[in-house]
Amino acid sequence: MPDGITYLRYSDAVEAKTPDEDEAIRGIIASMSRESATTRARYGQAVRVSHAKSSGFVKGTLTVLDTLPPELAQGLFARPGAHPVLVRFAQGPGELLRDRVSTHRGMSIKVFEVDGTMLPGHEGQRTQDFVLATGPVFPSADAAGFLQAMRGIEQSAKAPEGLKAAISGAARLADQAVKAVTGKDVPILDFFGHPPYHPLAESYHSQAALRYGDYVAKIAAFPVSPGLQALAGEELDTDADPNAFRNAVLYWFQDGEAVFELRVQLCTDLERMPVEDASVEWPEAVSPYRTVARIVLPQQDAFGPARQVFVDEVMTFRPGHGLAAHRPLGSLMRARLAAYPALSELRHAHNTTPAREPASIDEVPD
């Protein structure tokens, strides 16, 4: 361990469920189901209730680093070695909007050839999902807070796209004004008005906590390719191109590769690094992010038609799909543990397309 740092050991006591949480989670699922009905009527099929519009689907390799210290050599990362991965990049809304509605974005990672005890419902499978998003925190602290936000999102799904674009632009300008003074984003403004940066030049975060073997952590992916780092802060022209994010990803992988580092931030104490409040940024001055693996995504067709249909229509990515050693923690994550499978089941049932978990990366079309 780094000098002077003691990390919190995992136990069931790190979580503290409130009496009204189950009711809030039922409300979240009901609200998301109504939003799904709204978008299904518009598109003629059900789409994901969050991160509906894909920017790219990329195969690659995750390599766990050699000689990790004991506190980092946990769960999936306990042994060095290489694992195939599939990475999906997507926009945040549960709608297929033009990219001028620039909001938070996501990076979902499915790791193959994983060994260990799986979470309930995934026994016998050998895949681990990490569902990440832009921004180090979630705008809502817990399930109750997210229910309030979700009710607004549900209503906004009925609004004209032009109004959504105006709200996104206003949120972005307001966030920029605050950041110019404080040096920090306002999470709710960034959520609705994230700048249109290149999807491969951004960092992506779990935002809420997860178990990390004997410890508790947050996990994030950071671009380290020199070419991608050179793009940091540059904005795409989403007014000229309604699919700017997708085209940027597609263009990059035509002749280039992307390299990310997967890093973890270990919890030292629940006072400064709460598990039950996903809106609190854990201070890196107390516990910095530390690299545990590298993800290399080579040149390829990042939006092939067969792959697009398989990933968008058949596959799922869930925070709760994976090893027991990486169980999601805290109120927001408990809401996700319930909502993701419920909404996925609804989507696949309406589309009469059964969900399927690939056992091998070879099942994912090129």
Measured in residues, the chain has a length of 366
The amino acid present at 294, given as its one-letter code, is: R
- Report the distance separating Cα 204 and Cα 220, nearest Å: 5
Q: What residue spans define the domains of the chain?
A: 12-353
Q: Which pLDDT score is estimated for 3? A: 62
Contact present, 122 and 322 (Cβ < 8 Å)? yes
Would you state the structure tokens that stand for residue 198, as one six-digit string?
Answer: 């290149």
pLDDT at 4 over 90: no
- pLDDT tens for 241-262 read 999 999 999 999 999 999 999 9
**Mean pLDDT value across residues 216-245:** 97
Q: Give residue 228's pLDDT.
A: 95
Torsion of CA 97, 99, 101, 102, to 10 degrees: 130
Cα–Cα dist 147/103, whole Å: 19
Please report the pLDDT score of residue 120 as a whole number: 93
Longest CA pairwise span in the chain (Å): 58
Topology annotation, domain 12-353: Catalase HpII,  Chain A, domain 1 (2.40.180)
| CA–CA distance, 287 with 299 (Å, rounded to integer) | 35
Residue 5: band (very low, low, confident or very high) from pLDDT cuts 50, 70, 90: confident
Express as a percent the part of the chain with pLDDT over 70.
Answer: 99
Q: Dihedral angle at the C-alpha atoms of 238, 243, 248, 249, nearest 10 degrees?
A: 140
The residues facing 220 across adjacent strands are 205, 263
CA distance 313 to 40: 14
25-68 tens-digit pLDDT: 999 999 999 999 999 999 999 999 999 999 999 999 999 999 99
Report how far residue 356's alpha carbon sits from residue 361's, in angstroms, rounded to the nearest whole number: 13
Query: What share of the chain in percent tops pLDDT 90?
Result: 98
Is 301 a residue whose pLDDT tops 80? yes
Task: Give the per-residue pLDDT at 340.
Answer: 94
Phi-psi bin for 264: left (phi > 0), alpha (psi -120 to 50), beta? beta
Q: What is the mean pLDDT of residues 76-93?
A: 98
Output the six-digit token pair for 162.
């032009």
Assign 2 a pLDDT band (cuts: 50, 70, 90).
low
User: In 3D, which of 19, 21, 95 has the Cα closest to residue 53?
Assistant: 95
Cα–Cα distance between 241 and 353 in angstroms, integer?
31
- pLDDT bucket at 1, cuts 50 / 70 / 90: low
Q: Which amino acid is at 17?
A: K
The DSSP annotation for 37-62 comes to HHHHHHHSS---SSS-SEEEEEEEEE
Of 134-138, 180-184, 240-244, 253-257, give the lowest mean pLDDT range: 180-184
Which tokens in the block code for residue 197? 């940066």
Instruction: Note whether 263 and 292 are within 8 A (CB).
Output: yes
For the entire predicted model, the pTM comes to 0.97
